[in-house]
Structure 1
Amino acid sequence: MSTPDVVEASLTDGELHADAVAVLRGWTPTSAAAAEARDRTLDLLAAGPVAMTREHRAGHVTASALVLDATGERVLLCLHGKFHRWVQLGGHCEPGDRTLAAAALREATEESGLAGLRIDPVPIDVDIHPVGCQGGSFHHDVRFAVLAPPGAQARVSEESEELGWFPPDRLPEPLAGGTTQLIAPALAALRRAPLRPVP
């Protein structure tokens, strides 16, 4: 198990931070709200690589993924174990994450138990919301579209009470804020280009 000092060193070496800055600077936002969140996240990233760590009280960058089934007709959501709402998969960046897309894909894989997931490395949304980390902070969550292989069978992780596949127009309740806004850009990403593994 990594010690906090090792985690801090791994996440503050600059590679993941540089990717986050490059991705967000080059991204065309999918909504006015996402544009504002992108700009605020770039301001946060001006603090340097420490903004990728949960120890940064002003806020930190996280990565999440809306997983679509192989047909694009269902999305995979988890009933989160801590705040008991249905939400896309995702969470904190960890040692070994070299890009935001890789962090989102790792989180989706860990939380769903699915192998062979493919990701579009272009974000579909950025959202900022308050969290309880370090006694109160903010997640600057960069969100991606992920495609599951045919016949994928999800498996509940320690962080979820339940997993479920849902049609995009019939999402479950209670639903986390910001999840609905991922549907349209995720489906657009699926139509735009084949999603792929992260090297």
Structure 2
Amino acid sequence: MTALHTDATAALNDWAPADPDQQALRRDYLAHLAERPDGLFKACLPAHITASALVVDPAAGRVLLTLHPKVGLWLQMGGHCEPVDGTLGAAALREAVEESGITGLTLLSADGASGGRPVPVKLDRHEVHCTGKDQPANTHLDVQYVALAPAGAVEQISEESLDLRWFGYDELPELTDGSVRRLVALARELVD
């Protein structure tokens, strides 16, 4: 087992969501990791763990979303784990920094602040074609975090996005799915 696998298992074991559906997903993710030592990497098919982070500017009451080129929806930052990621939180933070262009992001920890051990906020299982349009769909087992933006943070679009924009909590764009809306609502509760 890699350090990343060990950390992901510990992070999911330590997280105790109140929602029964999230508890069921957590058990499914843990079963996946128990069965698959490679379960965090894109090559693991038909499913693999991914990590994402919703970038939040609590002082301004807004979130940063990316218009995903393959999906055509406004989403949080995120993607595949890499062998260089020491922890699942580090993978989510790396993706958030890469896709937002914002340095100084910190993940929300168990005590609702930044700087402690990051904890997941939500899990989301969804079908994607990350191995290519002509390949069968596979499943992302996404572990979602909240990343706090420093005051005055300025985003910079990357080649991974069609667009990148800040939205007020109550002003999410039409092309935002229910999963992202629930993530924003959870983040708002945690940071307000």
Change in Cα spacing, 1:131 to 1:30, as seen in structure 2 (3 Å) is farther
1:130 matched residue in structure 2 = 127
1:54 matched residue in structure 2 = 42
Q: How many residue pairs were aligned?
A: 179
Sequence identity (%): 46
Is 1:176 aligned to 2:180, yes or no?
Answer: no
Amino acid paired to 2:14 = G
Contact residue 30 and residue 185 of structure 1 kept, 8 A: no
Whole-angstrom CA distance in 1 between matches of 2:84 and 2:42: 15
Whole-angstrom CA distance in 1 between matches of 2:56 and 2:6: 28
Q: CA deviation at 1:95?
A: 2.2
TM-score (normalizing by structure 2): 0.88
Amino acid paired to 1:128 = R
Runs of 4 or more consecutive aligned structure 1 residues displaced over 6 Å after TM superposition? none
Whole-angstrom CA distance in 2 between matches of 1:133 and 1:116: 29
More helix by share: 1
**Residue 94 of structure 2: which of 106, 110, 116 is its match?**
106
1:95 matched residue in structure 2 = 83
Task: Give the CA RMSD over aligned residues.
Answer: 1.5
Whole-angstrom CA distance in 1 between matches of 2:59 and 2:169: 12
TM-score (normalizing by structure 1): 0.85
What is the SS of the residue equivalent to 2:94? Answer: helix
**Residue 72 of structure 2: which of 84, 102, 118 is its match?**
84
Change in Cα spacing, 1:167 to 1:131, as seen in structure 2 (3 Å) is same
Deviations 1:10-53 (A, max 9, x none): xxx51101111111111011533322211111111112321011
Q: CA deviation at 1:70?
A: 4.4
Q: Give ranges in structure 1 of 5+ residues lacking alignment.
A: 1-12, 192-199
Q: CA deviation at 1:56?
A: 1.1
Q: Residues 1-199 of structure 1: matches in 2 within 5 Å?
A: 14-71=2-59, 73-120=61-108, 121-134=118-131, 135=135, 136-191=137-192
What is the SS of the residue equivalent to 2:156? Answer: coil
Deviations 1:52-87 (A, max 9, x none): 111111300000001111415000000001111100
Whole-angstrom CA distance in 2 between matches of 1:48 and 1:190: 35
Greater displacement, 102-111 / 37-46: 37-46
What is the SS of the residue equivalent to 1:107? Answer: helix
